[in-house]
Amino acid sequence: MRVWVLHLGLIAVLFTAQYWLSPYLATNLARIMVLTVFAMGYNLAFGYTGLLSLGHALLLAAGMYAAGLPAQLWGWTAGPAFIAGIAGGGLVAAALGLLALRTAGVSFMIVTLMFAQAGFLTLLYFAPITGGDDGFAVAATSRTLLGFDLSADTPRFLAALVIFAVGLLASLALVRSPFGRTMVAMRENEERSRMLGYNPFTVKLAALTISGLYAGAAGAAYALLFGYVGASFATIQYSILPMLYVLLGGAGTTLGPFLGALLMFALIEAATGLTTAHQFIVGAALVALVLFAPKGILGTIRERWLRWLP
């Protein structure tokens, strides 16, 4: 019960944030929420199921282009484009899983990395359609949903919030369901789970596909809410980003991804305000964090004080 209060409470607080945050911070909060959806998907694969993937940028880009290309080529509006984005992410994740899940551990990491690289290069290869490295701006007509203009502050914020809320509550329901526990079982001890009758391959494939649905949603949301689609989102830094958020905030916690995303933003803002060598501060902060809170912030909190945190 506490758990639901906590999560719904957070959503409620974020809803009100549009009123007491400056427009600048509110728009950045919308960005953070969209990236959190990406990180939540990563968390489900990595934090809960133990799949260390370095190829999630492929899934983010899949969602982004699955939404952006129909908008660009056939004039789709935001609603259908968004659904296409989610589907795109899920399909690519499933295809990726069918091949990559034949490996495990570090091999899995490299295979996912390779497929993501191949995906990025393919986007460059088909530059006449995809815009390649430069990318393209999503037309204003495709950024309307139910009559609302998604490029305006309030509809954008609300759209991001709704997507975030659905993602968060769905992940909460998932991890507390029997399937969620099976995911954790796979992470903890795959052999024993297999002996108990669970099929590791199908469980992991399902987890990866769900992760892809989240990534696709995040990519599509970014394209439609912020108006830009580009191949740079398929590069390795966007595979490292969700991992960073998750590890910072707490892998295997539902709220960890959000906290991690929020923290990284705050850290970069503070660092760029202080010095031009901001990368240094971010790096030092990461090292400090991992030395003193290795399970991530919420992970450490859950371990020490609040054991009921999901």
Partner 1 sequence: MAFGPFLLLALMEGLVTAAILALAAAGLSLVFGVMRVVNVAHGEFYMLGAVLAWAVTTMIPGPPALAFLAAVLIAPVLVAALAAAADGLILKRLNYDPEATIVATIGLLYILQQAALSLYGPNANPVAAPFEWRIQLPWFGYSGYKLFVVLAAGLVLLALWAFMTRTKAGLIMRATQVDRSTARAFGINVDRVYMGTFALGAGLAALAGVLIVPIQQAQYLMGHDPLLLSFIVVIIGGLGSLRGTLIAALVIGLSDGVISMFFTPTLAKILATLLVAMVLVFRPQGLFGARA
Partner 2 sequence: MTNLLHPTRRGLLMAGGAGLLTAALPGYVAAQAAPIKIGFQLHRTGIGAAYGRWYERTAQAALKAINDAGGIAGRPVEILFEDDATDPKRGSEVVDKLTQSDGCDLVMGTLFSHVVMGSAPRAGELKVPYLVCSEGYHVASGALNRWTLQPGITDVRAQISTMAPWVAANLGKKVTMVFPDYAFGHDHRDFFTAAIQAQGGEVIAQIAVPPTETSFTRYFPQIPAETEVLYHVMVGPAVLTFVKELGEFYGTGAKPQLFGFIDSLEAVDTATPGLEFLEGTHFWEAHPRVKAADAGEHEGHYRAAVGVDDNGASVSDAADVSTYSHMFSTWETLYFIKQAMESASYAGPADRQKLVEAMEAITDLPYGIERPQGAKRFNGKTHQVFGSQHISQVQGGKLVKVHTTTIDEGLYEDAVDYTTMSF
Give the footprint of partner 1 on this chain (CB under 8 A).
52, 99-100, 102-107, 109-111, 113-115, 117-118, 121-122, 124-125, 236, 240, 243-244, 247-248, 251, 277-280, 282-287, 289-291, 294
Q: DSSP letter at 47? A: I
Distance CA 51, CA 106 (A): 10
131: region left, alpha or beta (phi > 0 left; psi from -120 to 50 alpha)? left
Closer residue to partner 1, CB minimum distance, 221 or 247: 247
Shortest distance, position 269 Cβ to partner 2, whole Å: 8
Q: Decide: is 219 part of the binding site for partner 2 (CB under 8 A).
A: no
Of partner 2, partner 1, none, which one does residue 309 interact with (CB within 5 to 8 Å by kind)? none
Closer residue to partner 1, CB minimum distance, 146 or 195: 195
- Please choose, from the candidates 120, 26, 112, 110, the residue with its C-alpha nearest in 3D space to the C-alpha of residue 64: 120
Q: Which 125-164 residues touch partner 2, going by CB under 8 A? A: 127, 131-138, 151-152
Q: Which tokens is 274 given?
A: 């202080």
Of partner 2, partner 1, none, which one does residue 154 interact with (CB within 5 to 8 Å by kind)? none
Closer residue to partner 2, CB minimum distance, 27 or 253: 27
Q: Decide: is 122 part of the binding site for partner 2 (CB under 8 A).
A: no
Distance CA 53, CA 243 (A): 9
Q: Between the CA of residue 281 and those of 94, 269, 271, what are the distances in Å?
A: 38, 11, 6
Distance CA 37, CA 35 (A): 5
Helix runs in the chain, H state only: 2-20, 23-43, 56-74, 78-100, 105-125, 127-130, 153-176, 178-188, 190-195, 200-226, 237-249, 256-274, 278-292, 297-304
Q: Residue 268: which residues within 8 A CB-CB, separation 6 or more?
A: 278, 282
Shortest distance, position 264 Cβ to partner 1, whole Å: 12
Of partner 1, partner 2, none, which one does residue 17 interact with (CB within 5 to 8 Å by kind)? none
Shortest distance, position 245 Cβ to partner 1, whole Å: 11
Binding mask 226-255 for partner 2 (x = CB under 8 A): xxx-x-xx---x------------------
Of partner 2, partner 1, none, which one does residue 290 interact with (CB within 5 to 8 Å by kind)? partner 1
Contact footprint for partner 2 (CB under 8 A) = 22-24, 27-28, 31, 124, 127, 131-138, 151-152, 226-228, 230, 232-233, 237, 272, 276, 278-279
